[in-house]
Structure 1
Amino acid sequence: MLKDHTDVCTTQEAAEILGLSVTSVQKLVEGGEMPAWKTPGGHRRIPRESVLAFKASGTVPRHDKGAPTRSTLLVVEDEEMQRAVFATQFAKWNLPLDVTFCKNGYEALIEIGLRAPDILFLDISMRGLDGYEVMETVLNRPSLRDVNIAIVSGVLSEELAARGGVPPGVAFFPKPVRYDELRGFATACCMRKQRLYA
């Protein structure tokens, strides 16, 4: 029986140890290549010993070989109409993207906690926990350092400046959105992930 929490890893921790995406670790678990169990809350737990043994084996997961690598996109937008427009545009892009929508910052943090996205599109002006706070949370978590963040908002640059501005490495796309520019950003993020897992 495992004695304490240091004997086990979350999928995020296992991904960091192995240098893989969380999705790849999940596939390893689901494929029976790495033993794991689920907590009552539905979260996977993996014996640390198994993760280290898998890393020492030098085995490259077959899920990362040759197959097209899909990227995950999380869109945080409180306006229903804008979410619908985004969905229509994304469908035209023909990119390897799996898209999830959240209508507020609280939903977004829960989703990010369950599965860190590769790409994050954030509206800033939302009730309650807004996009800027979500962004700061992601930027302050070392385990989320690989998330590509873009602010997609009608907020004025002066308002952003009053809150600290746009952090280095974060893209800013003002509304009304120029979808060709947004598509370019998403394409670059997808290509980056494909190069990493080629």
Structure 2
Amino acid sequence: MSRGRTPPVKDTYSTHDVAKICCVTPTTVIRWIEDGLIPAFKTVGGHRRVRREDLEKVCRERNIPFNVPTGSEVGRILVVDDEPVVLELVRDVVKELSHKFEVEVAKDAFDAGRLVVSFRPQLIFLDLMMPGVDGFEVCTRLKKDSATTNTEVIAITGYYTDANMERIINAGAVACLKKPLDVLEVRGRVIDAFKLKDEDVDQASKQKGATKVLVVTQNADFRTRLRDELSNAKPAVEFLTAQTGADATLVAQNKPPQHVIVSLSVPDLESSDVIAKLSQGDNKPQIIAVHDAPTDEIRSAAREAGARMCLPTAMVSGTIRELLGV
């Protein structure tokens, strides 16, 4: 995003434009309009529009820098957490929705404070309890600062209780998510916050035409669960299986899959180089790596090999149809 630049001559802005200019989410802009904080009108098609002079006046009164959006990004999201698994998961989910999202991560209070000022996120995923960081206090400070009072905050915590949820909501967060994070819940929160429309979501994320799913695992229970879940998909999904990397390569050659779920515990995974081979093939399937307890190193290695994301095995079971869009 260009900062401090003279705005181009433009008479009106959409709610998404206003959100980018003011560094808030479209949801916040709509709330401002409904509360009468920003004058707006509706087009013949029912879309809200804000006149440039009205927006400039509001920005001056509220000391909001008037930063013109380039139009290249959907939004800016900051993830504050000291767990690499959480940082990677949220970043994967957001980027899977749209490559146009800008995502920054902070593992400590120093980076979080620096990025809030320099990156000016519209949405912050905030861990409530990190070493040296009190998420409740951080949220309270954000809401008291005129520069960030309208920045949307979604809390995340491994210590989820009704008391903690009530406390952080009272501090200004819009929601509190429990760890381990639910991929679909994170995805849904981002879609709601930015009012994403169908055309905003990358085709890879919403692909509906997948017919072949290859599952590479030696875990019979995991394989059976996925088979049962995918059996209800419409249109029908052809379920392919392999127990070794070498077999997976052969299966993919005969019946190129659109999606691959590969367990990183498969014995010959590295020697067969199956993830890299599948990701570089002509068909280029969407590959999701799974591991019982993925570390930051494991996730990075899987992504470097060509996997779209690396998720805990338990997280995939029960959400496979939504993850694949089938």
TM-score normalised over the length of structure 2: 0.37
Correspondence 1:28 to 2:11: no
Query: Contact 2:126 / 2:154 at 8 angstroms: preserved in 1?
Result: yes
Correspondence 1:166 to 2:169: yes
Q: Please state how far the C-alpha of 1:169 moved relative to its aligned partner.
A: 5.0
Q: Distance in 2 between matches of 1:69 and 1:91?
A: 11
Larger radius of gyration: 2
Q: Please state how far the C-alpha of 1:68 moved relative to its aligned partner.
A: 5.4
Query: Contact 1:75 / 1:100 at 8 angstroms: preserved in 2?
Result: yes
Q: Please state how far the C-alpha of 1:95 moved relative to its aligned partner.
A: 6.0
Query: Contact 1:76 / 1:131 at 8 angstroms: preserved in 2?
Result: no
Which stretches of structure 1, 4 residues or more, deviate above 4 A after TM superposition?
Answer: none
Structural mapping, 1:16-95, within 5 Å: 23=1, 26=3, 28=5, 64=69, 67=71, 69-94=73-98
Cα 1:159–1:103 shift into 2, 3 Å: farther
**Helix, strand or coil at the partner of 2:129:** coil
Cα 1:64–1:182 shift into 2, 3 Å: same
Query: Contact 2:152 / 2:174 at 8 angstroms: preserved in 1?
Result: yes
Amino acid in structure 2 at the alignment position of 1:172:
C
Amino acid in structure 2 at the alignment position of 1:184:
G
Q: Distance in 1 between matches of 2:161 and 2:96?
A: 29
Query: Contact 2:78 / 2:103 at 8 angstroms: preserved in 1?
Result: yes
* RMSD (CA atoms): 3.2
Q: Please state how far the C-alpha of 1:73 moved relative to its aligned partner.
A: 0.2
Which of 1 and 2 has higher RCO (CA within 8 Å, sep 6+)?
1
Query: Contact 2:155 / 2:168 at 8 angstroms: preserved in 1?
Result: no
Task: Choose between structure 1 and 2: higher helix proportion.
Answer: 1
Amino acid in structure 1 at the alignment position of 2:184:
D
Q: Distance in 1 between matches of 2:152 and 2:78?
A: 10
**Helix, strand or coil at the partner of 2:159:** coil
What runs of 5+ residues in structure 1 fail to find an aligned partner?
Answer: 1-22, 32-54, 193-198
How many aligned residue pairs are there? 140
The match for 2:286 is none
Amino acid in structure 1 at the alignment position of 2:167:
G
Cα 1:107–1:69 shift into 2, 3 Å: closer
Correspondence 1:180 to 2:184: yes
Query: Contact 2:77 / 2:104 at 8 angstroms: preserved in 1?
Result: yes
What runs of 5+ residues in structure 2 fail to find an aligned partner?
Answer: 9-55, 58-65, 197-326
The match for 2:144 is 140
TM-score normalised over the length of structure 1: 0.59
Query: Contact 2:128 / 2:136 at 8 angstroms: preserved in 1?
Result: yes
Aligned residues with identical type, % of pairs:
20
TM-superposition CA deviations, 1:65-105 (whole Å, max 9, x none): 8x455210000010123222333333322264100000012
The match for 1:103 is 107
Q: Please state how far the C-alpha of 1:27 moved relative to its aligned partner.
A: 5.9
